[in-house]
């Protein structure tokens, strides 16, 4: 299937991959507060109940459609501002003051999680898969810092492939590295890794390997086609940057970088980590800077792939194999394969 096929997920403004998407930073949602969040075209009210748990519900009250973010958090439930109906943390109506008893209605709730200082929402029908993580840090307790928040004039998939666009490391980032990626398709995630050589003319490479003349690890793990976790550095010091992206209106991107480092013990460890997170941010900025303008104007269409674009093609195929949902409604979209299977079984029945 071509990357521009009508049904494919890649670079498609009308559909996206089922998965975990970032909603808002954890620290922006205090206990007892509710926020309006628009995620992938759907309006939500996200609140933190007294137990500290985050609850995400569809925004509009089933009574008359008031936005529930205008309401008040009560216990672990939410009470609509307009006529004071109350819903519990499963979205079930538990109080209608004018009736003196609840009515059999409910609002749709969505699974949430908190990781790396961010609130994530599972957008999908099936049981949630793993939250995005950096492969080396899956079981590791980490310090983190939110980096830059940004908007780009292109699709999240297009922005993400920048990290495995081997050729552009030379032409844009002045990293004369020889990059060939090994990839591992993990079903929901895909990783591209390599050990690079060369690059001594670059200040970045000199910075991350003082006295270190051998290899520098560079690997990228993609989750749901929208979040990329980067691992970069020599063996003795890896930097970790998460590019958490989501599609906004018109197939554009809203993103947030998250800088991560493993926890180090004591006050000294805390201080060292502040410094390391700051340094990680500089590394992230180095990569973000050179390409900024091209993502404002690109009309992505990989018409003439070369050998150096092999990883990009692999990523496109991976994204197109994932389960698709519709922008705004979050309804499942049948893949061309499912449609074909269904069609052939119907013809058999006839």
| Count of chain residues binding ligand FES (CB under 6 A) | 8
Taking each continuous run of H as one helix and of E as one strand, the counts in the chain are: 7, 21
Q: Decide if 17 contacts 319 (C-beta within 8 A).
A: yes
Dihedral through CA 295, CA 301, CA 307, CA 309, nearest 10? 40
Listed residue (95, 99, 65) closest to 82, CA to CA:
65
Query: Is residue 291 near Fe ion by the rule CB under 5 A?
Result: yes
Which of 27, 83, 263, 264 is close enough to bind ligand FES by CB under 6 A? 83
Q: Among ligand FES, Fe ion, none, what binds residue 291 when CB lies within 5 to 8 Å by partner kind?
A: Fe ion
Listed residue (135, 131, 165) closest to 311, CA to CA:
165
Task: Identify residues 109-168 at the interface with Fe ion (CB under 5 A).
Answer: 162
Least distance in Å: CB of 173 to Fe ion?
6
**Using alpha carbons only, how large is the chain's radius of gyration in Å?**
23
- Burial (CB count <10 Å: 0-12, 13-18, 19+), residue 34: buried
Binding mask 38-77 for ligand FES (x = CB under 6 A): -----------------------x-xx-x-----------
Query: Is residue 70 near Fe ion by the rule CB under 5 A?
Result: no
**Segment near ligand FES (CB under 6 A); pick from 80-88, 251-259, 328-336, 339-347:** 80-88
Q: Decide if 53 contacts 263 (C-beta within 8 A).
A: no
Task: Identify residues 37-66 at the interface with Fe ion (CB under 5 A).
Answer: none
Q: Among ligand FES, Fe ion, none, what binds residue 190 when CB lies within 5 to 8 Å by partner kind?
A: none
Angle at 223 (CA atoms; ends 217, 225), nearest 5 degrees:
110
- The residue (of 64 and 140) whose beta carbon lies closer to ligand FES is 64
Task: Identify residues 122-181 at the interface with ligand FES (CB under 6 A).
Answer: none
Query: Is residue 207 near ligand FES by the rule CB under 6 A?
Result: no
Q: Among Fe ion, ligand FES, none, what binds residue 61 when CB lies within 5 to 8 Å by partner kind?
A: ligand FES
- The residue (of 59 and 277) whose beta carbon lies closer to ligand FES is 59
Report the C-alpha gap between 279 and 204 in whole angstroms.
11
Listed residue (235, 176, 234) closest to 209, CA to CA:
234
The binding site for ligand FES (CB under 6 A) comprises: 61, 63-64, 66, 80, 82-83, 85
């Amino acid at each position: 299937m071509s990357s521009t096929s009508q049904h494919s997920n890649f670079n498609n403004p009308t559909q996206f991959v089922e998965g975990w998407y970032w909603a808002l930073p954890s620290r922006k949602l205090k206990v007892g507060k509710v926020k309006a969040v628009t995620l992938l075209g759907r309006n939500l009210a996200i609140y933190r109940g007294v137990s500290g748990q985050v609850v995400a519900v569809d925004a509009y009250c089933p009574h008359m459609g008031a936005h529930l973010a205008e309401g008040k958090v009560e216990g672990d439930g939410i009470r609509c501002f307009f006529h004071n109906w109350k819903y519990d943390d499963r979205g079930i109506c538990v109080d209608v003051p004018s009736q003196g008893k609840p009515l059999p209605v409910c609002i749709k709730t969505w699974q949430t999680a908190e990781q790396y200082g961010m609130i994530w929402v599972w957008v999908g029908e099936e049981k949630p898969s793993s939250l995005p993580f950096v492969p080396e840090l899956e079981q590791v307790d980490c310090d983190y810092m939110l980096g830059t928040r940004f908007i780009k004039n292109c699709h999240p998939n297009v922005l993400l492939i920048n990290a495995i666009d081997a050729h552009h490391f030379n032409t844009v980032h002045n990293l004369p590295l020889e990059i060939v990626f090994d990839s591992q398709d993990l079903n929901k995630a895909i990783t591209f890794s390599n050990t690079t050589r060369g690059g001594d003319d670059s200040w970045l490479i000199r910075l991350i390997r003082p006295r270190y003349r051998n290899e520098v690890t560079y690997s990228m793990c993609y989750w749901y086609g929208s979040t990329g976790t980067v691992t970069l550095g020599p063996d003795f010091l890896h930097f970790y940057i998460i590019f958490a992206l989501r599609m906004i209106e018109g197939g554009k991107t809203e993103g947030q970088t998250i800088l991560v480092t493993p926890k180090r013990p004591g006050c000294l460890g805390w201080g060292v980590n502040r410094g390391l997170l700051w340094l990680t941010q500089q590394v992230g900025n180095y990569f973000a800077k050179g390409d900024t303008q091209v993502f404002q104007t690109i009309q992505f269409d990989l018409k003439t792939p070369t050998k150096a674009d092999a990883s990009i093609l692999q990523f496109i195929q991976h994204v197109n194999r994932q389960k698709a949902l519709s922008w705004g409604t979050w309804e499942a979209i049948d893949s061309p394969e499912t449609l074909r299977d269904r069609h052939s079984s119907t013809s058999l029945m006839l």
